Amino acid sequence: MSQVPFRRIVVLIKGFSKTAYEYQLDCSYLSKYIEYFKSIAGGAFEDNEILEIKKCSVDMLKKMMVEIRVDFAVIVYVGHGATQDNYQLFQLSENEIIKPGQFVSISEKVLVILESCRCKINGINAIDLTDKIPNFRDGGIVRRKISREESRHRYIGQIKKCHIGLVVCFACSEDEEALDYIFTTELLEHAMNWYSNRENYNPVLSIVDVMKYISISLSIFKPDIKQHPVFVGVEQFPFVISRY
Considering the domain boundaries, does residue 2 fall inside one?
A: no
Q: Which residues contact 31 (CB under 8 A, 6 or more apart)?
A: none
Structural domain includes residue 1: no
The SS3 assignment for 9 reads strand
| pTM metric for this prediction | 0.86
Question: DSSP letters along 173-229, please?
Answer: -TT----TTHHHHHHHHHHHHHHH-TT--S-EEEHHHHHHHHHHHHHHH-TT-----
What's the confidence (pLDDT) of residue 139? 36
Residues spanned by the domain of 166: 8-241
* Structure confidence at residue 225 (pLDDT): 80
Flag whether 79 is in a domain. yes
Q: Is residue 23 part of a domain?
A: yes
In a domain, 26, yes or no: yes
**By three-state DSSP, how is residue 120 classified?**
strand
Distances (CA, A) of 92 to 46, 53, 81, 224: 26, 11, 9, 31
What CATH number did the domain enclosing 81 receive?
3.40.50.1460
3 within domain boundaries: no
The Cβ-side half-sphere exposure at 149, using a 13 Å CA radius, reads: 0
**pLDDT value at residue 109:** 96
In tens, the pLDDT along 180-211 reads 899 999 999 999 999 988 787 768 999 999 99
Q: What is the four-CA torsion angle of 229, 207, 106, 104, rounded to 10 degrees?
A: -20
pLDDT level of residue 229 (50, 70, 90 thresholds): very high
Q: Does residue 175 form part of some domain?
A: yes
Residue 117 in domain:
yes
How long is the chain?
244
Model confidence pLDDT, tens digit, residues 132-172: 555 555 433 445 688 999 999 999 999 999 999 999 999 99
Domain count, the chain: 1
